[in-house]
């Protein structure tokens, strides 16, 4: 699936901002006998040219084989014997002093298991392990940076960000999302959560002052070739009205991208609702086509 997403992300962030396709691989039970069990996720990593990459914060220990090989090739057998067993019993810092703090993980991560502890489980279907988000956030941000998760679900990103002393904003359409954040904050961090929770529709501030929406009628008539955007019937300009696709009560703006022409009937059916309502009503046949033509 990720190839579709890659094209979309290229369009949003720019192809040159692409840094890595990270494979998060895991194991788990599977019932399929018709193809290989699907046991990996793709993480698409984008960033500006000089964006943060804290490789030292995500180093992981070398495996025993690598250590033994390095000892041999670098002639360190005088320091400790070539047997990997001699590492046992040494403290982590002793090993680190000998061989460095570990290596930067490759672009495939097989060292983060899917949720194993019952304690971490919330019952949310697509829940990701905290360790996965810890690595992503540690690598790509610094303390007090802002982390945004626009589909925060069961709040794993928020928890990891809070732990790592980042600021964070989580957005989710689920009504229970805010409760879940509060619950997990208490459970994982033992803190009294005092975040701000908003359910009002945010106002766009990036558009500046827009001309009155009705001034676009002529242009829209050209765009739509004189057809109503609901029933698709052709009308004279005076029988079409300018409609907000996303109603203003739902955060829709006067920007021409949010405007369309509807005939009187379609406009009255749609009212303050979204297009999906109008389309459903029209498809249901509960219409009087040609009305006011
Ligand atoms: Zn219509």
Find all residues with CB under 8 Å of 198, minimum gap 6, and list them. Answer: none
Q: Residue 289: pLDDT band by 50, 70, 90 thresholds?
A: low
Structure tokens belonging to residue 284? 């249901």
Same domain, 33 and 111: yes
Least confident of 46-60, 129-143, 189-203, 264-278: 189-203
256 Cα–ligand 1 center, Å: 19
250 Cα–ligand 1 center, Å: 22
Report d(CA 288, CA 282) in Å as an integer.
Answer: 9
197 Cα–ligand 1 center, Å: 39
Alpha-carbon separation of residue 44 from 2, 3, 54, 70, 151 (angstroms): 8, 10, 17, 32, 16
Of 46, 76, 99, which one is at a domain's C-terminal end? 99
What is the count of structural domains for the chain?
A: 3
- The pLDDT assigned to 94 comes to 65
53 Cα–ligand 1 center, Å: 53
Q: Find tokens 């033994």 and name the residue.
A: 68
Residue 85 resides in a domain: yes
Ion ligand 1: residue ranges with CB closer than 5 A: 228, 230-231, 263, 266
Same domain, 14 and 129: yes
214 Cα–ligand 1 center, Å: 18
Q: Where are the alpha helices (DSSP H) in the chain?
A: 2-13, 64-73, 92-99, 130-140, 156-163, 177-189, 217-223, 264-270, 275-283
Residue bearing the bigger pLDDT, 100 or 253: 253
What is the average per-residue pLDDT within 254-271? 94
Residue 71 resides in a domain: yes
254 Cα–ligand 1 center, Å: 21
Residue 254 resides in a domain: yes
Query: Does 135 score more than 90 pLDDT?
Result: yes
290 Cα–ligand 1 center, Å: 8
- The pLDDT assigned to 82 comes to 34
Query: Does 32 score more than 60 pLDDT?
Result: yes
Structure tokens belonging to residue 251? 């955060």
Same domain, 124 and 227: no
CATH of the domain at 252: 1.10.30.50
Domain of 45, in residue numbers: 2-58+105-189
Query: Does 151 score more than 60 pLDDT?
Result: yes
Residue 80 resides in a domain: yes
Residue 290 resides in a domain: no
- The pLDDT assigned to 189 comes to 77
Using one digit for the tens of pLDDT, what is the confidence trace for 68-114? 666 555 554 434 443 455 556 666 666 656 566 788 899 999 999 98
221 Cα–ligand 1 center, Å: 13
- The pLDDT assigned to 207 comes to 79
SS3 content of the chain, % helix, strand, coil (to 5): 40, 15, 50
Report d(CA 124, CA 122) in Å as an integer.
Answer: 5
278 Cα–ligand 1 center, Å: 10
269 Cα–ligand 1 center, Å: 9
Q: Which range, 202-211, 220-229, 272-281, is most confident? A: 220-229
Same domain, 117 and 182: yes
Same domain, 135 and 185: yes
232 Cα–ligand 1 center, Å: 6
Query: Does 17 score more than 70 pLDDT?
Result: yes
252 Cα–ligand 1 center, Å: 21
Query: Could you give the angle at which helices 92-99 and 64-73 cross, rounded to 10 degrees?
Result: 40
17 Cα–ligand 1 center, Å: 43
Same domain, 153 and 275: no
What is the average per-residue pLDDT within 125-143? 93
Same domain, 11 and 142: yes
Query: Does 290 score more than 60 pLDDT?
Result: no
Same domain, 121 and 93: no
User: In percent, how much of the chain has pLDDT > 90?
Assistant: 51
Report the half-sphere exposure of 200 (CA within 13 A, side-chain side). Answer: 5
262 Cα–ligand 1 center, Å: 5
Q: Residue 49: pLDDT band by 50, 70, 90 thresholds?
A: confident
Same domain, 48 and 114: yes
Residue 259 resides in a domain: yes
- The pLDDT assigned to 92 comes to 60
What is the average per-residue pLDDT within 34-58? 93
Query: Does 244 score more than 50 pLDDT?
Result: yes
Residue bearing the bigger pLDDT, 154 or 239: 239
Same domain, 118 and 248: no
- The pLDDT assigned to 72 comes to 54
CATH of the domain at 9: 3.40.50.150
Q: Residue 184: pLDDT band by 50, 70, 90 thresholds?
A: confident
Same domain, 28 and 154: yes
pLDDT averaged over the chain? 84
Residue 207 resides in a domain: no
Residue 114 resides in a domain: yes
Q: Residue 176: pLDDT band by 50, 70, 90 thresholds?
A: confident
Instruction: Extract the runs of DSSP E, i.e. beta strands, from 27-127.
Output: 40-46, 108-109
Same domain, 73 and 6: no
């Amino acid at each position: 699936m990720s190839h579709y997403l890659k094209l979309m992300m290229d369009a949003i962030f720019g192809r040159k901002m692409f840094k890595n396709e990270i494979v998060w691989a895991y194991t788990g039970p599977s019932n399929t006998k018709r193809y290989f069990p699907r046991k990996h996720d793709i993480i698409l990593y984008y960033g500006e040219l000089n964006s943060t990459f804290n490789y030292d914060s995500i180093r992981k220990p070398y495996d025993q084989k690598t250590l033994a090989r390095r000892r041999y090739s670098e002639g360190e057998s005088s320091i400790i014997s070539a047997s990997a067993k001699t590492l046992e019993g040494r403290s982590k810092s002793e090993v680190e002093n000998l061989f460095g703090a570990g290596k930067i993980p490759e672009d495939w991560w097989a060292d983060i298991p899917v949720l194993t502890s019952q304690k971490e489980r919330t019952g949310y279907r697509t829940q990701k392990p905290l360790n996965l988000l810890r690595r992503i956030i540690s690598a790509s941000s610094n303390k007090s940076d802002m982390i945004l998760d626009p589909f925060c679900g069961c709040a794993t990103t928020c928890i990891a960000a809070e732990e790592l002393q980042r600021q964070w904003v989580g957005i989710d359409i689920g009504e229970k999302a805010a409760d879940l954040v509060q619950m997990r904050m208490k459970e994982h961090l033992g803190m009294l959560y005092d975040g701000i929770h908003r359910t009002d529709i945010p106002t766009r501030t990036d558009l500046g002052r827009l001309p009155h929406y009705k001034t676009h009628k002529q242009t829209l008539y050209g765009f739509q070739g004189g057809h109503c955007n609901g029933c698709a019937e052709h009308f004279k300009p005076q029988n079409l009205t300018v409609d907000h696709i996303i109603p203003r009560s739902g955060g829709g703006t006067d920007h021409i991208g949010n405007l369309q022409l509807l005939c009187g009937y379609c406009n009255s059916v749609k009212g303050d609702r979204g297009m999906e309502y109008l389309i459903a009503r029209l498809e249901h046949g509960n219409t009087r086509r040609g009305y006011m033509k």
